[in-house]
Structure 1
Amino acid sequence: MQTQLADWARDTDFGREADEILRRCVHCGFCLATCPTYQILGDELDSPRGRIYQIKQVLEGAEPTFVTQQHLDRCLTCRNCETTCPSGVQYGALVDIGRQIVSERVRRPLRERLVREALRRLMGSPWFGPLYRIGVWVRPALPAVLRSKIAQARPAGPLPAEPGRHARQVLMLANCVQPAMMPSIDAATLRVLDAVGVGTRIAAGSGCCGAINFHLDAQEAGRDQMRANVDAWLPLLESGEVEAVIVNASGCGGMIKDYAHHLKHDPAYAERAARLMPYVKDIAEFLAPMAAEVRAKMRRAPGRSAFHPPCTLQHWQGLRAVTERLLADLGFDLQAFGESHLCCGSAGTYSITQPALSKSLRDRKLQAIQTTLPDTIVSSNIGCICHLQSGTGTPVRHWIETVDEALHD
């Protein structure tokens, strides 16, 4: 694709990056077939190719409008198009640039500004847990879009005693919402790691991965959270005190594995963020070499399950095959279903900011899954788990919870 960037963009870091990405696009249209929003809306402006054209126009000097912003907002950032693209277009990086530029030039309506600000302030706040528990009590009175996000949390159960006794030690995230919404996921992760002789800890000074701020018009606030995590984790890792950062929410994992990209223009953090990357492991990556040991300790095999691979696992991190192989090795009776490559519509806060599209994608995903008649739907990301559970009576869980139960039942 030929480009002629405007003067204000041409000699900037983001302009040079966008220009390189735009020039890779050859207009082939393969991305349309795998874009969830295009599948539902049928409007090319709501496809990767259409959004690329809109971002290009803005970078070349066209004035963005609220309509431009809407089309970019409707993107789930699932990156399915990147998996499909034969030219290696880094669409996710480009849409991040486009959204930032448009947000600086287009003032959102008051309601949207309030919702987005409330989401990013609340979800990263110490008040989230207490407010979530209140939400459980008053759930019937809440608007449908919020009611669908609130469920009674499964109990965490007993945690391993003295995790520091193990020679092998890893770091876990201080997740923003998972401890309040589904404490059973972290607890199950700790118990499974303990069973294979791995202790866990949370590094002082670490916190949210930065995704919530970054995707809600506060990219620099998100980068500040990334920097704090680099500062908290890297010394422990490079000293050998711990061996890895283990992530059991693929949305967080996808964001953390992009730290080197997001901080590459920061002279104080670019090289340090790059050094962090090899240490960051999804829980499936970490456990895969120990599959036989885990299986030997399991008291029963998991039942008939459908595995929903989150976009942040399969398209961002490329770990779908690793995870499915691990689940098969652990005895899961996995049931294949159609359109497993498409997004379920959760996409972080997308299910709140774009409820109609999100619900359509959720229902389409569940319809495909239910044809396999699974006893359980398992996934790797809390957002997908909550979102899918709001539309089905079939239990939806993190696969690590199922493994934990099989170890301890």
Structure 2
Amino acid sequence: GSVFAARGKKRGRVALLQGCAQQVLAPRINQAAISLLTRHGIEVVLVRDEQCCGALTHHLGNDHDALARARANVTAWGAEVAGEGLDAILVTTSGCGTVIKDYGYLLREDAAFAADAAKVSALAKDITEYIAGLGLEPVARQDNIVVAYHSACSLQHGQKITGLPKELLSKNGFVVKDVPESHLCCGSAGTYNILQPELAGRLRDRKVANIASVKPDMIAAGNIGCMVQIASGTSVPVVHTIELLDWATGGSRPTLNASS
């Protein structure tokens, strides 16, 4: 039910997914998103009665639970759209965003929810998709900071968003390095690192070695699962893309420790 007012002239109004694991493990991510958005004239709403997106139970094949959560979110966000309106539903965890963008498909045979679910999916955007249209301008360039960008599977394969986050980081002053074998999973994969720790660990080690080869000062990613997984295998700080973009455009410097 919280609303964060736009600073200066209001340019838009969005809902921001609060998330489950992320708001416990790294609340600073959405704080950075709110900071950047409001500073650029966007009103941000944390919607009352929003639930878990259903991604994890959907991955595990518990469709009853996943679809129940999807219906609850369609109802909650639909009420906000019908009320003061929303330009977008923004997601800072790409694993969640991939599933929310699929609500229309998942509920396509539910006569009571199909149309509204399709509308929600159309409104859902990864945070980088939306802020790309805000005309960000760096306050102070960070040309000496080398960032290795990890492309989460849910973002590059699930949502087909590949170059945009890197372009935003580069345009806002960071030296962005591609990670070799960037198409490969880091081993997080929702609950995979919990259910298959040995294989997940091997994937993590391979990912960390590839990241180390570009000698970064920081690692940026757009998914909390990847961030935690990668951070468990390196001392290089792991931060969310939005934290760096917020910092570059006038926000606070990210907390630069690998375990946070």
Calculate the TM-score normalised by the size of structure 1. Answer: 0.58
The CA deviation at 1:393 is: 0.3
The runs of 4+ residues in structure 1 deviating greater than 4 Å are none
Deviation string for 1:182-225 (max 9, x for gaps)? 01101111101111111211112211100122223421111000
From 220, 226, 234, give the equivalent of 1:384. 226
| Contact 1:237 1:244 (C-alpha < 8 Å) held by counterparts | no
Aligned length: 247
Deviation string for 1:72-92 (max 9, x for gaps)? xxxxxxxxxxxxxxxxxxxxx
From 342, 356, 367, give the equivalent of 2:209. 367
Residues 342-361 of structure 1: matches in 2 within 5 Å? 342-361=184-203
| Contact 2:4 2:45 (C-alpha < 8 Å) held by counterparts | no
| Contact 1:172 1:245 (C-alpha < 8 Å) held by counterparts | yes
Distance 1:346 1:242, change over 3 A: same
Residues 209-288 of structure 1: matches in 2 within 5 Å? 209-238=53-82, 241-288=85-132
The CA deviation at 1:239 is: 5.1
Structure 2: distance between partners of 1:254 and 1:238? 24
User: 2:40 matched to 1:196?
Assistant: yes
The CA deviation at 1:385 is: 0.3
From 16, 24, 45, give the equivalent of 1:172. 16
From 140, 161, 167, give the equivalent of 1:319. 161
User: 2:236 matched to 1:394?
Assistant: yes
User: 2:144 matched to 1:300?
Assistant: no
Structure 1: distance between partners of 2:141 and 2:164? 22
Q: More deviation in 320-329 or 233-242?
A: 233-242
Query: Which residue type is aligned with residue 251 of structure 2?
Result: H
Structure 1: distance between partners of 2:3 and 2:50? 23
Structure 1: distance between partners of 2:164 and 2:32? 20
| Contact 2:141 2:172 (C-alpha < 8 Å) held by counterparts | no
From 251, 255, 260, give the equivalent of 1:408. 251
| Contact 1:299 1:408 (C-alpha < 8 Å) held by counterparts | no
Query: Which residue type is aligned with residue 382 of structure 1?
Result: I
Structure 1 counterpart SS, 2:190: coil
Distance 1:162 1:231, change over 3 A: closer
Structure 2: distance between partners of 1:337 and 1:177? 26
The residue aligned with 2:258 is none
Distance 1:299 1:161, change over 3 A: farther
| Contact 1:379 1:397 (C-alpha < 8 Å) held by counterparts | yes
Query: Which residue type is aligned with residue 148 of structure 2?
Result: A
Deviation string for 1:109-156 (max 9, x for gaps)? xxxxxxxxxxxxxxxxxxxxxxxxxxxxxxxxxxxxxxxxxxxxxxxx
The CA deviation at 1:161 is: 9.4
Identity %: 38
Structure 1 counterpart SS, 2:136: helix
Whose radius of gyration is greater, 1 or 2? 1
Q: Which structure's residues are more often helix, by fraction?
A: 1
Query: Which residue type is aligned with residue 68 of structure 2?
Result: D
Deviation string for 1:17-50 (max 9, x for gaps)? xxxxxxxxxxxxxxxxxxxxxxxxxxxxxxxxxx
Aligned-residue RMSD, C-alpha = 1.9
Structure 2 unpaired stretches of 5+: 253-260
Structure 1: distance between partners of 2:216 and 2:6? 38
Structure 2: distance between partners of 1:210 and 1:198? 27
The CA deviation at 1:284 is: 0.4
Distance 1:369 1:164, change over 3 A: closer
The CA deviation at 1:324 is: 2.0
Residues 50-129 of structure 1: matches in 2 within 5 Å? none
Query: Which residue type is aligned with residue 179 of structure 2?
Result: F
The CA deviation at 1:236 is: 2.3
Calculate the TM-score normalised by the size of structure 2. Answer: 0.89
